[in-house]
Structures are given as C-alpha cells and as structure tokens.
Structure 1
C-alpha cells in the first residue's frame, strides 16, 4: 500500500494486531513512505513560525519517530537536539536518516513520553503527529512531564489542524478508523492506541494550563481558512513561566473542543 516502497496490506495488518511499540518497530523501515509521517509542508510551516521566537539552545523532539521533527530542530537550536521515542526500530531509522554535516549535536534516546528521562534541560520541545497515541486521561501526566523538562521560559510547540466537518469525507474516514480501533481494542490484546478524533483542542488548552504552562495560539497561514473564517491549522505554543515571550500572530475564529 501507499506505493511500491510502502508497507503491504499484510504488513499493516500485522502491525495493527501488535502492541504500539512492536507495531512501530515493524513499520519503521517503511514509515516514511506512508501518510502517517508528518508532511514536509507542515514541518516547514512550524519551523518558520518558531524561528522568530529563537534562537534556541537545546531542543527535544517528543515521540520523534524516524526523525522528521528532529531535523526541524537542527535548524532552530544552536547546541543540541534530542529525539526521544519508545520504538527502538523507529530510532534506528532516525539515526540513519538524520545526519547533518554541521550544526548542533544530536542524541537519540529510547524512552516513554509519560516518564521522560530528563531534567529541565530544554528550551524548545516539539511534537508532530503523536498525540493520537495518548488517551485523554493521559494528557495531564504527559503535559506535566513536558513542563518538567523545559527550562524557565522554554516552549512546547505543536501543530493542530481543524477537524473535518460531517459534510467532508474525511470526517467519516476518521470516525470509521477510530471506531474500528475501539472495536479492535475491545476484542484483542495488547491494545493499539491510535485515535484521530480524541485529541480535542479545547481540552488540550485546558490541560496545558493546568500543567502550569502559559498558552498562545498562532496561525499557520499557508493552510488557509475554513468557511467560517477560522484557520485550518494552528500552532500551539505553551511556555513554562520565565522570561517574557515574543508574541505569535494571534489566532482568529473559534476553538473546536
């Protein structure tokens, strides 16, 4: 599927019936040839929006996968960049594919985002496409972990896209996927947690603030606006209290919770 270099249907089925960790170990060599990998256009837009808030010294790519977001950090951070993921297979691919000739040093760490093996060592944390692997009840602990590894004034940034409306085919595609995953997890062990519709912006903003972070919403303008004028893509930037931050372009329109 997804072209000659992508995984076969059988390989995807084996992955889906595995644990999240083992499933990604299996998928890792072909992950970048699937739609699950964050598109370069999104990565570039986030990098462009974050650049005026820097320069940054040390960055962390949370749930780094094959290192697409880690590569973004190498252009934003001056001293070091760290990618953390709990899949050894994904980290192996990242080591091979992210090898800048110069710039900050890169470290790869196998670890769980819910129990990060770091102190307050970073002034920028990013994450791309990983939040579907966390149940809503896990967000308080996850965001508390992120806050604990940020230096005072450090920022946690990630893109969020407006969910499709019921009139759009994507709405039913995502609903169908989540329904199948819930049925799978009710009938099969170990569970494979991946839900596209569970990460709701209103809930996320509340939990970030409860974790003691100050939140700003920016707009990623290259993705346009919906019929009601609200942006299709936003950048969430949550800051640990510290020095006064630079301002983002304010987001317009409603927040979808």
Structure 2
C-alpha cells in the first residue's frame, strides 16, 4: 500500500493521534507517496470533462494539499490559479513541487480554512479532490455557502465522486472498518482527527448544494466505466452559481 518512500507505520500512528492540521503537517513530505493523494487519472479525467465548460480566468483548488489539483487547473485557467489549505506543511511541499507552465497562469498559495475562505467573488472555477471526508455532514451547508460566495456569477464548483462499493466487495468492508476505527479513536482521544469515507453521500450533497443556491449537473467520467447496473463508476458534480436577475444587485 505504501512504497519505500512513503511513511512508516510509526509515522502514520503519530499522525493519526494528532489533530487534522498537525497530522498533515507531519505527513506532507511523504504525502505524494501514499494512496491518499488523488491519482493522476482522476485529475486528468476531471480536466477533460471541465475543458468544454470553459474558458476560465481564475481558479481555486479547495484543500489543495501538495498541489496536484493546482497543476490540473493550470491547463484550464488563463489568468490565475490559487491553492488554499490549512496545513502549512502541505503548502510548503506544494510551493516546491508545482512549477507553472511557461506563459501559463500565475499560481498563488494561501493558508486558510475552507469554512472561512478569505476571498469574495474571485473565481470562475473552484475544484476539490478527496477532501470532503474531513468535514462532518453538519458542516456541508456552511462549506457550500463559502464556495458559493467566492464564485463569480456563472462560476462553477466541481468535484469527482466515486460510486460506493457494494457490500459484496472487500472495499465496502474496508471503508466501513476505517470509519468505525476513526469513530472509536475520536471518542477516546483528543484532539479529534476528522476523516470519514462514508459520510459524504451523493443524495445529501446534491440537496445541500441546492440549498446553497447552486444549479447542479452530474457528468459521467467515462474513463472509469460503469457498474453492473449501468450506472457510472465515477461522476463529476458540477454546481453552477446562477447569474443575478436583471436589475438585481450582485453581492
């Protein structure tokens, strides 16, 4: 599961007994050698799906980690790409490893909390990859309201979702077991480490996006095929902030 350059068991244990922020600061130098980093094929598939919806001037990678999503955005945005994350360690790695293409958009890194973003109507595109397990279901309304507020009218918030494994698959029990262990850990140890795989349910997400004022579309990601029932194995959620009505004042 982890290559020779990845973290040792002891390092993972120390991370798991830390806060989320401190844990990622510790993991940052080896994060790209773990399975937690979003695979390139997911990033490339999302970029292909978003390209026809552009052009985009300014983009934001929400919870950017070591910057893999920022690299994907540099091929979609003309003027600027910003990565925001609350882990100083992850941002430090991102600054070192991401090299914007010549003639491409400017890249900026901001340390901040996704639940209190330091921007106002600044972007045409916001993306996020693999970060939503760090937010409890009750936090989604506030999180989506924040994203809505940093998008310009007509801007889009996009993120991939994978179909959950069925109970007949080993992955189902692996994720169930992981979440159970994390719940026990958080009941017995402080500070909590919020990371759950089975709390970000598509139906709940679509409802909360609608409540936040988004118009939502689902785009299959064909590279990942379909399940036995014909449903896509992976989808791209694209939530669009509506244009203000004629005569209204945009806030």
TM range (shorter): over 0.9
Question: Take 1:199 and 1:33, find their aligned partners in 2: how far apart are those partners?
Answer: 25
* 1:11-66 deviations in Å (ceiling 9; x for gaps): 00000000000000000000000000000000000000000001100000000000
Q: Does residue 233 of structure 1 match 2:234?
A: yes
Structure 1 residue 100: Cα displacement: 1.7
In structure 1, the partner of 2:83 is 83
TM-score (norm 1): 0.94
Structure 1 residue 3: Cα displacement: 1.2
Q: Does residue 18 of structure 1 match 2:18?
A: yes
In structure 1, the partner of 2:109 is 108
Question: Take 2:239 and 2:124, find their aligned partners in 1: how far apart are those partners?
Answer: 11
In structure 2, the partner of 1:165 is 166
Question: For this pair of structures, how many residues does the alignment match?
Answer: 243
* 1:131-162 deviations in Å (ceiling 9; x for gaps): 00000000000000000000000000000000
In structure 2, the partner of 1:64 is 64
3-state DSSP of counterpart to 1:70:
helix
Structure 1 residue 99: Cα displacement: 1.2
TM-score (norm 2): 0.96
Structure 1 residue 101: Cα displacement: 3.6
In structure 2, the partner of 1:40 is 40
Question: Take 1:198 and 1:101, find their aligned partners in 2: how far apart are those partners?
Answer: 37
3-state DSSP of counterpart to 2:152:
strand
3-state DSSP of counterpart to 2:115:
helix
Q: Does residue 49 of structure 1 match 2:49?
A: yes
* 1:194-242 deviations in Å (ceiling 9; x for gaps): 0000000000000000000000000000101111111000000000002
Give the alignment of 1:214-229 within 5 angstroms. 214-229=215-230
Question: Take 1:74 and 1:216, find their aligned partners in 2: how far apart are those partners?
Answer: 23
3-state DSSP of counterpart to 2:29:
helix
Deviant stretches of 4+, over 6 Å? none
